[in-house]
Structure 1
Amino acid sequence: MAGTASPSAGARAGGSKPNLYEVIRDQLIGEIESGRYPSGALLPSVRELTARMAISTTTARKALAEVVAAGYARPEGTRGHVSAGPRAQQVDEETPQPTEAPAAARPSGLAIRTPVTVTSDGYAESETEHTTLDVRSEPVPPAVALALGIDEPTAPVVVRRRLVADEHGMPTELRTSYLEPGFAQATPLAEPEQVRGSWGDALLASAGGKSLGTTQRHVSARHPSDSESAMLGLKPTACVLTRTETTHDQSGRPIDHTVTVWPAESTRLNLSDER
């Protein structure tokens, strides 16, 4: 596709404040350019955007329409909006290449995954070359606001997303940690860098420099959200195993809410060491 200028560029150049839909549009485009939504991946639905960003459906629809107009996505009926990939990739695709698309970019295809067993407290032992890390500040989603006891619906939280892939590039784990800003700020947890060690109480205590209290853990199975199916290369009708963990400080204040998602077809949870 030919390059197109951002529709709000002129307004920003004049010094006017961008509309909310423009901010969300630019965030989505940035996530497409960064590879979070590769070519063919489903973008967040209108419902997901309204819940995650605390915006109206009109604003969400307008933002998605602007992403389409900018050439970064295309509507696909009831499936929603699909990423067209980063601009450089779009230019490369004008000349057909004999290589396969990444697994995460073809969620409707047959994916052969290596079976893995995960302990109740375990993740991959360390960040590896097959790990993609994204750290940012985002408006708190409603379910997370409830878990962290945040009353302000548009309050920002520190969000650390980690996508782990196997040696073949097949996504195997998506972990999203929402951290209370007062706990995470001015610590390595709020920085876009790898944090050594498995995610858990010990790491939160060492990185946050504070003593911790209890951690509540729950394991369940469900269908993936649009963004989860895109990042893990799954069909929307697939099943995923999820573990939610809410960690508190010694006073009982919740400081971290982590959601880990695995493809159910290839993951077994070993709960024998659950505390």
Structure 2
Amino acid sequence: MQLQQLTALSLKLDFYGWREYDLLKSSGFNMRKPLRRLRRLPALQELRLAMEWTSAVETASAWAQLPQLCDLEVRDSGSQGFAGRAPRQRLAAVVAQIGATTALTKLVLDVPGQGSFGLDEQQAAADVCAGIIGLTRLKHLELGLHPSARHDGRAPAVVAGDVCMLTALTGLTHLALPHGHGSVGDDRAAKLACCLKQLCHLNLDACCIGSMVCLGPIADLQQLTALHLDSNPGVTQQGLMLLTRLSRLQRLDVCRNAEVTDAAVKHFWSALHGGGGV
């Protein structure tokens, strides 16, 4: 069979809401079985899976049994109907299974926001950052840090946790923490930059950063080629010019304000290319 020669495979699992999920479950359909069969492909070396949380809850127990799984993407579409009805331990199990999938080199994970409130309130919330620090092969990490507070006071089933724990992942070359807001901030971003020296791509959009405490360590990331600082109005012109130390930088996204104008950004690129940095 031709599949016996397959060396790489990318699968995007069908996305469905909780009604479709219930229908499939009642019919006896099991998404884990076809995934487990992939282990039998003798030449398969790289497996990439993309799905939403609804599919992740159903298939997570199979991930660690797939040694070829190197790339995993779990998105949150805001399917509150499903996540609100799912037992909290099932949502937490997804995080646990990610942590057990030790062959991962790339992880894209939306930490669920308003939809991650499971049925059993006594179950402790799953901590994403604590759960993935054992993934020492990771090179590419994207965490979508969505707000988790609810007006009714219910606790979320999944939380981002302390992003400083990601300093253990010293092999990272790509780190994205967009919309981290107060869960990142200047001090935590500085710690990440001080420890993750191999970073080539850093996305801290909307992470409440901008002071020299943070921008100084970022300016020392000599491998950095892309830096995203959009929606951080605290960045000043002085902070912007500090980043001219990034000699390999090719892309910079920065929030415009009274100091960081289009003219200031143009001057930044001129100073960077002309060697007139700080």
TM-score by length of 2: 0.26
Q: Which has the higher strand share?
A: 1
TM-score by length of 1: 0.26
Structure index of larger Rg: 2
Structure with the bigger RCO (C-alpha within 8 Å, sep 6+) is 1
